[in-house]
Amino acid sequence: MPMDRGDTLLMTGDSITDCGRARPVGLAAGGGLGNGYPALVQQHLTALRPADGLRVVNTGTSGNTVRDLAARWREDVLAHAPQWLSVCIGINDVWRHFDSWLEPRAHVPLDEYRHTLDGLLAEVRPKVKGLLLLTPFYVEPNRADPLRAMMDRYGAAVAELAQRHEAILVDTQALFDAHCVHRHATAIAADRVHPDGTGHLLLARAVLKALGQGLEA
């Protein structure tokens, strides 16, 4: 289903989506969408469909896990009543197992992650025309790496939920794996988590393709 004239695409998640967006809500005016893939998506939609008034709203919040997203779901997602919703969450849910390994209360187990996200999606799915789910990712092609291996399990949960809720799956891990065939992981994400401009362009192109918005060139 294509985006119709006047549609709003709300993009939410963690720091990958946040990218310095304006508060309380990231809008296009004055660079309010931040400097990541949501801004690139808006720029593309505006350039190719200037008469259609397609709008991107960014409510990504750095450091968030799915627990944090659930706590602000009503205010940052439902209250905006978007026609389209894009969700990218899970990187911190995994990362906390490694960077806060002595703080188990900060860890989000896979079952909790799956159950919480499932509930959020069930609530919003009847209210939107289209739903995009971006898998969490770790820019590390070695699948045996412990963090990468765990990220793959959380990504598989997102793929299951995409099928259950008739959402469009954007496999960001596969996207970065393909790129890392040609360039070292740290060339696109110094910490293997936060992509540079090239990484955000890859994400934007994947989202636009999922929305059926061209980019064949």
Q: What is the mean pLDDT of residues 192-202?
A: 97
CA angle, corner 40, sides to 34 and 45, nearest 5? 125
Q: What is the mean pLDDT of residues 36-60?
A: 96
Mean pLDDT score of the chain: 95
Question: Hey, what are 21's tokens?
Answer: 């967006």
The three-class DSSP label of residue 64 is coil
- Please determine, for residue 215, whether its predicted confidence score (pLDDT) is greater than 80: no
Residue 121 burial (10 A CB sphere; 0-12, 13-18, 19+)? buried
Instruction: Report the share of the chain in percent with pLDDT over 90.
Output: 92
Q: Are 13 and 62 in contact (CB under 8 A)?
A: no
Give the per-residue pLDDT at 135: 98
Question: Hey, what are 163's tokens?
Answer: 């099928």
- Please determine, for residue 216, whether its predicted confidence score (pLDDT) is greater than 80: no
Give the per-residue pLDDT at 217: 40
Q: What is the mean pLDDT of residues 83-106?
A: 93
Catalytic (active-site) positions: 15, 191, 194
- Please determine, for residue 12, whether its predicted confidence score (pLDDT) is greater than 70: yes
Question: Hey, what are 70's tokens?
Answer: 């659930």
The lowest-confidence range among 1-5, 48-52, 156-160 is 1-5
DSSP 156-177: HHHHHHHHHTTPEEE-HHHHHH
- Report domain extents, the chain: 8-210
Question: Hey, what are 81's tokens?
Answer: 């009543």
Give the per-residue pLDDT at 214: 65
The conformational region for residue 28 under phi > 0 = left, psi -120 to 50 = alpha, else beta, is alpha
**What count of other Cβ atoms lies within 10 Å of the Cβ of residue 185?**
19
Quote the distance between the C-alpha of residue 47 and its chain's center. Answer: 22
What kind of fold does domain 8-210 have according to CATH? Rossmann fold (3.40.50)
Give the per-residue pLDDT at 99: 85
Ordered alpha helix ranges (H), the chain: 15-18, 37-48, 66-76, 91-99, 110-124, 146-164, 172-179, 197-210
Give the per-residue pLDDT at 176: 98
